Structure 1
Amino acid sequence: MFPVSRSLRSDPPETTVTGMESPTGPRDRLRAWLREHLSYAVSEFTAATALVVLFIALSLASPHFLTADNLFNIGSQTAVIAIIAVAQTMIIITKGIDLSVGSVAALAGVVGAIVVRDLGFSVWEATVVAIGVGAAAGLVNGLLVASARLPPFIATLGMMSAGRGLVFIITGAVGVYSLPESFQLLGNGEIAGIPFAIVITAVVALAAGFLLSQSRFGQHVYAMGSNLEAARRAGIPVRRNLTAVYVLAGALVGLGGMVAASRVSSGQPNYGIGLELDVIAAAVIGGASLFGGQGRIAGTLIGAFLIALVRNGSVLLGINIHYQQVIVGLIIWAAVYFDQYRRRRLEARG
C-alpha cells in the first residue's frame, strides 16, 4: 500500500536503508527493490496471520469476545493505540524513538478535560487545544533532537518525566471529572454504527500514509532515517524536517490523548504509563525498523490491532495485568529480532 523506504539517489554512491551501496544497473536495482518489498510483504503477512489466528482463538476461548459491547471497546482501544503508533512510526522511520508519548497523551487529555469543565469549551475546541499541547511537546522534543542534537532517547526521556510532572501539578494528582456528556463523543460516539474513534483513526492513517508515500516531505523523512549525513549533503533541510516530524507526531499524540480521555469521560493523570511499549510494539510488528529508514502505516495498523487483542483477550481470560506486560515485551523482542534477521538476509543477497 505504502512504500517502505526511500534512498538518496543524489548522493554517490547511492545508499539504501541497509547502508549498502545499491546495484548500479536498472535490472539489479529492480531485483533489489523486489527483494526488499517482498521481505516486508512477508513481514506484514505474518503479522496479519497472527492477528487472524488470535482473533479466532479468542472467539473460541471466551463467549464474551464477539459481543457488540466488547468489539466496540476493542475498536475504541485500538484507535488510541493506532493513532499514537502512527506518530511513533514516523519518528522511528527517522531513526528516532519517543518515550514521552504516554506522558504527553495524559497531559493533552487532562488539559482538554479542564478547558471543557472550567472554561466551557466544546469538545471540538478542547480537541484543538489538546492537539496544540501535543504539538508543543513535540516541538520541544524536535528542537532538542534536531538543533541541540540530543539523542532522541534522552530528549524524549526528559519530556516523559517533565510531562508527567506537569500533569500531576495541574491536577494535584486527582482526576478531572464532572464533564458534560458531549465530552464522550470522540471516544464513545458513533457515525452510522461505526465508532467515531475508528473514523478518526482511518482519517489519520490515510493522511499519514499519503504524506509519507506521496509527498516530498515523506521522501525526506525516509532519506533522513536511511542516512542522515547523506540527506544533509543532498541539500535536505534536516533540522527543519526532523523538527516537523516531532511536531506532527506530538500533535497526533495529543489527539490520541483526547480520544482516550473521552473514552472514560475524565482526564486521568495516571493515563499512559507504559503506553510507549504498546505503540513501539505496534510499529515494529508492522515492519518499522528501529534502525531507521523503514516503516509502513498499514503495517502499524495491523500491529495496533494485534496489541489491542492481546490486551482485551488477557482481560477476558483473567490473565494478570503483569503477564500482559511480559507478553508485550516478548512481542517486541520477536519483532526486533525478525527485523535484524531480515536486514541480514537482504545484506547477504546484496
Structure 2
Amino acid sequence: MSNESKQLAAKAKGIDAKQVGNALLNNALIIIMLAVAAYVAITQPSFLAPRSLVNLLSLTAAYLPVALGIAGCIVLTGTDLSAGRAVGITACVAASLLQASDAANKMWPNIGTLPIPLVILIVVGIGALIGAFNGFFVAKFKLHPFIVTLATQLILYTILLLYVQQGNNNGMAISGLDQGYRNFVVGNPPLLTFGSIQIPNYVIYAVLLTVLMWFIWNKTTFGKNMFALGANEEAARVSGVNVFATTIAVFALAGAMYGWAGFVESARIASNTANTGVNYELDAIAACVIGGVSFVGGIGKISGIVIGVIMLRLIFVALPLVGMDQNLQYAIKGGIILFACALDMRKYLVKK
C-alpha cells in the first residue's frame, strides 16, 4: 500500500472515530438514562413488571400533551413558563363543570353537570386563548417569550387562586367528579387492556394527539412555516411567511394542548387545587430538549418529544426504587435541563 493510500485510510479512520465520538456525546444524556434504567431493572426486577410498565406508559401519556405544546414554542427559539398554570386553571375549570350533581360542596350547583364534549371545547378554548395572549405579545412587541410567559404565569396563578374560592367551593379541593367523566378519561371499562391490567383511556387519546401533532408539524403549511420561522425569521418573512399570525398560532396551539392536558389531569387526580399542574412546564421543557428540540430554533421531531417524555418519566419512576430521596427530584430535573441544553448548544456550534 502506498503512503498516499495509508494516509487516506488513516484519515478515514479518524473521521469515523470522530463521528462515533460526536454521536456518543450528542446522545450522552439518553445513554446515561438508559444505563440508570438498566441498573434499576437488574437490581429491582419489579421495575419491568407489567404493572410498572403500564404505570410508566400512563405517566408518559399524562405529561405528553404539555410537551407537544411547548415544543412548538421552543422551535420558535422561545419557551412557555405559563404551561403549568394553564394546565392548573383548565383542570380546575373542567372539574368544577363536571362535578357530580349530588357532590358535596358542589361549586356551581345551579348548572348541574355539563356535557363532556362541551367542557372539552371550553377548556381547550381557554388554553388556546392563553396561548394566543402570549403569542400576541411576543409577535407584536417583540418581547422575549421568557418574559411574556413568566408574566402570564403569575397572572394565571392569581386568577386560579380567585377561581377556587368562587361558588360553594371556598378554596377547597374540587372533587366529587361525575363518574361519566372519570370513565371517559381513565376508563371503566377500559378501551384497552394489557393482560389483566387496565390501560387508561387517556393513553389512547395521547397516541391520537401525537399522530395529529405529527401531521400538523410535517404535512401542513403551518408546520413548514413554523420551522422556517424558527430557523430564520427574516428569511421566513421574505419568503412570504406571516410572522405575526404564525407566532400567535404556534402559541395558541400550545395553549390548546395545555387545555387538553388540564381536562385529562382533572379526572386523573380527581381532586384539584390551585397547585394542580405546578412545574409541569419544567418537565415538558426537559423532555423536549432531551428529545432533540433545539433552543436555537427550527429543529425538532415529534418522535424525539415522545422519547424525551418517556426517558424523563423512566428516570423518575426508577430512582425511588433504588432509594433515591424524592426531595432531590428538582435538582435532578435542573441538572438534566442544564446538561441537555449544553449538549444542544454544542451540536449547534459544531455545525456552525
TM-score per shorter chain, which class?
Answer: 0.7 to 0.9
Counterpart AA for 1:84:
V
From 264, 284, 290, the equivalent of 1:259 is: 264
Contact 1:79 1:201 (C-alpha < 8 Å) held by counterparts? yes
From 123, 126, 131, the equivalent of 2:116 is: 123
From 64, 89, 102, the equivalent of 2:84 is: 102
Shift of 1:244: 0.6
Shift of 1:285: 0.5
Q: Match of 1:276? A: 281
Q: Match of 2:148? A: 155
Shift of 1:41: 8.2
Instruction: Report which of the two structures shows the higher radius of gyration computed on alpha carbons.
Output: 2
Range 281-290 or range 308-317, more displaced: 308-317
Shift of 1:133: 1.4
1:144 has 2:158 as partner: no
Unmatched segments (≥5 aa) in structure 1: 1-37
Q: Match of 2:39? A: 57
Q: Considering only aligned residues, what root-mean-square deviation do their CA atoms show, in Å?
A: 2.3
Contact 1:134 1:254 (C-alpha < 8 Å) held by counterparts? yes
Range 326-335 or range 51-60, more displaced: 51-60
Shift of 1:281: 0.5
Shift of 1:208: 1.1
Counterpart AA for 1:249:
A
Contact 1:75 1:197 (C-alpha < 8 Å) held by counterparts? no
Q: Match of 1:188? A: 186
Q: Match of 1:66? A: 48
Q: TM-score, normalised by structure 1?
A: 0.82
Q: Match of 1:337? A: 342
Shift of 1:254: 0.8
1:203/1:126 Cα in 2 relative to 1: closer, same or farther (>3 Å)? same
Q: Deviations over 1:127-162 (max 9, x none)?
A: 222211111111111111112332111111111111
Contact 1:104 1:134 (C-alpha < 8 Å) held by counterparts? yes
Shift of 1:49: 4.5
Shift of 1:180: 2.0
Once residues 323 and 43 of structure 1 are traced to their aligned partners in structure 2, the CA distance between those partners, rounded to angstroms, is 25
Q: Match of 1:93? A: 75
Once residues 304 and 144 of structure 1 are traced to their aligned partners in structure 2, the CA distance between those partners, rounded to angstroms, is 29
1:76 has 2:58 as partner: yes
From 232, 238, 252, the equivalent of 2:237 is: 232
Shift of 1:42: 7.1
Q: TM-score, normalised by structure 2?
A: 0.81
Contact 2:82 2:152 (C-alpha < 8 Å) held by counterparts? yes
Counterpart AA for 2:159:
L
Counterpart AA for 2:58:
S
1:235-314 aligned at under 5 Å gives the runs 235-314=240-319
